[in-house]
Amino acid sequence: MLLSLVGALAAPTGHTARAQEPGFCTSFSAELIKQGRERIGQTIKASGSRLCSYAEQVVFLMDHSRSPDKSTQPPTPTDNINLGPSANPNAKPTDFDFLKVIGKGSFGKVLLAKRKCDGTFYAVKVLHKKTILKKKEQNHIMAERNVLLKNVKHPFLVGLHYSFQTSEKLYFVLDYVNGGELFFHLQRERCFREPRARFYAAEVASAIGYLHSLNIIYRDLKPENILLDCQGHVVLTDFGLCKEGMEQEETTSTFCGTPEYLAPEVLKKQPYDRTVDWWCLGAVLYEMLFGLPPFYSRDVSQMYDNILHKPLHIQGSKTVAACDILQGLLHKDQKRRLGAKTDFLEIKNHVFFSPINWDDLYHKRITPPFNPNVAGPADLRHFDPEFTQEAISTSITHTPDLAASSSSASDAFLGFSYAPTEEDI
């Protein structure tokens, strides 16, 4: 239900299926995998709510277990949600030239925009208040905003510059990232060589480790949520499923995530902790090396059975270090999974990452193994033409009188607006 974070490439729906044959990656029919994803969508639609990735193309499962997260309890339509201090009341849509649609979902759209005063490019995420209220998703917007505000100090997390609202819409002004989704590049190249996969996994692990240091569990790591910037560095997006306030030993029970990447304990509806993120890292690393998630099946029921009961098979000529970290991250017992004892420290100290200088990685002193070769902000080659060719609605660009509206949407998002302090800058 939530439109995911901006800057991402809107990739074609679903994984292009690739056979897991010994020693090589090979391509199945894209149509077959599309049908498989459609079946997953139908299954999820029948069982619970629906949340999607950046352009809302990948479904995830979500329901409430016997002890659901307090943060996911939907408020009544009349409840007011205070999303923070009203520090930016003067920003408005007419501050921007909206150039292209680069993503969309059930709550609204993401647009490439240029700020008129200085010509700076941003990705602006525009959400419809009434739709959010109707679907009782105010708390997810709050979680997303809260996490965004904490991301300004990490190089591999998308950043929020400021936010504002009109009587009808919410506007997130975020980093514009146009190097494409990792999914897009993986789909095109089928699989990556080990050094390239290690580089992306290291930058992602650094971002996840930072979130964990803030007691935040990410819960929806997948190639569609991993972007590349114009130089080829990772930018993690989409924080709608994040769970805040999670200390090292704390657990939660909400059944959520994306089907291919769900950890066994989530599928079993057992209490789980931050190690679910390391399972997902293992699944993404496996997919980068082999072309498909580790337990993938077009039959969603079979896929869940594989995740729960099938042993991990690592085929082909991978290094001992790669095999060992995959076995560690994809251990079905969360208490014995790599990262269960000392979290990110265990990951960074694994032999697989021994070629990585973590300080150089954090400060972007390591040259990325792949350059997206974008010509500048106007280069949209890594965005789906389905979106970039769409006309921009005039309702996005005009500024209605906030005080004139009598709708409940006018006061349901009190305090949403945000501007950085001098300390943030």
| Domain ranges across the chain | 181-362
* Burial 264-292, CB ≥16 within 10 A → b, else e: bbbbeeeebbbbbbbbbbbbbbbbbbbbb
What mean pLDDT, rounded, does the chain reach?
79
Nearest CA among 142, 160, 159 for reference residue 69 = 142
Residue 410 pLDDT grade (very low, low, confident, very high; cuts 50, 70, 90): low
What is the model's pLDDT at position 228? 96
- The residues annotated as belonging to the active site are 220
Average pLDDT over residues 115-132: 92
Residue 222 has pLDDT above 60, yes or no: yes
What does the pLDDT read at residue 76? 40
Distances (CA, A) of 407 to 78, 90, 167, 237, 403: 11, 21, 8, 31, 10
125 is in an annotated binding site: no
Q: Is residue 229 scored above 60 in pLDDT?
A: yes
Q: What values do phi and psi take at 424, rounded to 5?
A: -65, -45
Q: If pLDDT is split at 50, 70 and 90, which confidence band does 156 have? A: very high
Q: Which CATH number fits domain 181-362: 1.40.20.10, 3.30.9.90, 1.10.510.10, 2.30.40.10?
A: 1.10.510.10
Lowest mean pLDDT among 195-199, 238-242, 298-302, 404-408: 404-408
| Phi, psi values for residue 235, rounded to 5° | -135, 115
pTM, two decimal places:
0.77
Given a cut of 70, whether residue 106 has pLDDT beyond it is: no
User: What pLDDT, on the 0 to 100 scale, is given for residue 63?
Assistant: 32
Scanning 125-263, the segments in alpha helix (DSSP H) are: 129-134, 138-149, 182-189, 194-213
Percent pLDDT > 90 in the chain is 49
* Mean pLDDT comparison of 24-33, 64-73, 259-268, 372-381, highest-scoring range: 259-268
pLDDT digits (tens, 9 = 90+) for 258-279: 999 999 999 999 999 999 999 9
Confidence band of 23 (pLDDT split at 50, 70, 90): very low
* More confident call, 57 vs 121: 121
- The percentage of residues in the chain with a pLDDT greater than 70, rounded to a whole number, is 73
DSSP string, 172-210: EEE----S-BHHHHHHHHSS--HHHHHHHHHHHHHHHHH
Does residue 113 have a pLDDT over 60?
yes
